[in-house]
Amino acid sequence: MSNVDALMDVIASARGARPASLSCPEAEDGMTISIALLVELAVANDRIDRLERMVAELRGMTPEALRETAPTPAEAEERRDANEALIVRVLHILFDPRKRIDGPAERAGAPPA
Amino acid sequence: MKVRDLDHELLPRVTQEDSSRQSAIVALRRLLNRHVRPHNIDHYEREGEPAFVARHGRKPQSPADVETALFASASYRRWSAVNRAVQEIIWLSVGEPIYRDQPRMRAAARRLADAPDRKGALHLDPDVIQPPGMADNDVHLQPGGYTMDRDADDIIAGSLYEAGGNVYSFGQGAGKADSKAGAVQRFLAEHHPDVRPARILEIGCSAGAASAAWAACWPEAEVHAIDVGAGMLRYAHARAEALGVPVIFHQMNGAHLTFPDGSFDLVISHNLLHEIGRGERKAMFREAARVARPGGLVIHQDIALRAQPSLVHAVEKRWDTRFNGEVYWTDYTDDDLVADMRAAGFDDGSLSEHDVPAIQGWGAWYILCGVRR
């Protein structure tokens, strides 16, 4: 069985309702997704750690020394660009020029945000 | 015998990524329990109660008032949302490897259960009376619930219970060496050092971790363990066989035992009291007393939640009732269990209540002990 099928089976077997804690369902869903991403980040960090330890061993150095290997100025600039792009990808909604319209709050008579 | 930090054939084979995921959830829950949840009382006092007073013109008085006031605090709502989300992720993190590894696990369970040299036994009863709130409820949000039973080899309920229970308990601060059975065994050594039971009954054994620990503690004793969930019991039986300990498992309801009067020297339940309703619990108390022999011991162990310093603390602990499928939590925390034991046939001099420290890690366990006259 694939991981996706296994996950879908677990999800499909859950019963009952999901009581809300927050007054905004979208915010609660977003928080739930953020928690899952936090866990996946920890999983990815563990993978990086395993690789670092293997590379350090192959290079005859300690993992700490490998992690403290500073990038060259050119490499540092490359990483800055890459991280900025990552931030834009994640926070793209903050830069989106389009104005929000026709949300349920607006349709109920509230002024647009 | 250890109950949490051990290896056996019935556990799912996990990848490094599965382990990382579960470790991250344990770390997240330990942080929440140690550094976030303790501030809920402050949030109540600083945000919730003033908001309630402003709206209602009076202070919160009833448990329902206090719950309303707690949810008037944005900080409390945020904790509640995160805690629920993490509880759901626990089951994904353990369910993924369990479902993925089902063919091997099911085959192993069948082989262990049918082995010619098996030490224990399994007796299933499809007509067992299911207690209310169990078959139709995902207790602790365990997907499919404790009584999931989809076919004759289904062991999912037991698998999820053991793996999910470990992630949950470690996140609660339990040490890897912690053991509910161990805490009761230590209690017996301190308070009833002469007890040498020949026949032991565990009521509500779930995945059989404590049943196996009891069989290992007293190898000369005959250990019987009952539960209403067939999927739990198939897993528990195979698990006990994998560990090489003899336990006789029965699909049976603790409120309707079929054992003869006076047939056990020691009757135990672990974390059962908060999973069954008031009527079921009173009937179970009567049945446990009935099957204990004169001079025998009846011990019900559960979570040490019943003594809280204030109504606000008590209501804060009831979060699990609504958000974690623990529908009988309040019955357990609020009822007079000693009175119920008295009504089941124990006299005052034979009854005692204790909060005992965990074997390892944070927290404590509640013990209600009666000696059968």
CA distance B16 to A47: 8
What single letter denotes the amino acid at residue B288? A
* A28 in contact with B, Cβ within 8 Å: yes
pLDDT number for residue A95: 83
| The one-letter amino acid at B219 | P
Domain ranges of chain B: 102-371
Q: How is the beta sheet containing B351-357 ordered, strand by strand? A: B121-123, B248-251, B222-227, B199-203, B264-270, B292-303, B364-371, B351-357
CB B276 within 8 A of CB B328: yes
Are B322 and A19 an interchain contact pair (Cβ–Cβ within 8 Å)? yes
Q: pLDDT at residue A100 above 80?
A: no
Residues facing residue B366 across a β-bridge: B302, B355
Task: Determine the distance in angstroms separating the CA of A3 from the nearest CA of chain B, rounded to an integer.
Answer: 6
Q: What is the pLDDT of residue A111?
A: 57
Token digits of residue B207:
């995945």
Note the pLDDT of residue B264. Answer: 98
pLDDT on residue A105: 62
Place of tokens 């979570």: B303
Whole-model pTM: value is: 0.92
Query: Contact B200/B224 with Cβ under 8 angstroms?
Result: yes
Q: How far apart are the first and last CA of chain B?
A: 31
Contact with chain B for residue A4, Cβ under 8 A: no
pLDDT score for A101: 74
Indicate the fold that domain B102-371 takes in CATH.
Rossmann fold (3.40.50)
**Residue B92: which of A10, A42, A43 has the nearest Cβ?**
A10
Look up residue B1 and give its two tokens. Answer: 């015998």
Confidence of residue A94 (pLDDT cuts 50, 70, 90): confident
| CA dist., res. B129 & res. B276, Å (int) | 13
| Residue numbers in A near B20 (CB within 8 A) | 42-43, 46-47
Residues of chain A contacting B81 with CB distance shorter than 8 Å: 21-22, 28, 31-32
Instruction: Using the structure block, give the residue that is written with the tokens 């006299």.
Output: B347
Distance CA B3, CA A69 (A): 44
Q: Which of B24, B96, B141 sits opposite A7 (nearest CB)?
A: B96
A34, A43, A51, A54: best to mutate for the B interface, most B CBs within 10 A: A43
Task: Give pLDDT, residue A107.
Answer: 67
Q: Which stretches of chain B drop beneath a pLDDT of 70? A: none
Contact (CB, 8 A) for B77 and A27: no
Q: At A110, is the pLDDT very low, low, confident or very high (cuts 50, 70, 90)?
A: low
DSSP for B111-136 reads HHHH-TT--SEEE--TTPPPPTTTTT
CA distance B208 to A26: 41
Query: Could B137 and A16 be called an inter-chain contact, meaning their C-beta atoms sit closer than 8 Å?
Result: yes
Distance, in Å, from the CA atom of B324 to the CA atom of B24, rounded to the nearest integer, reads 20
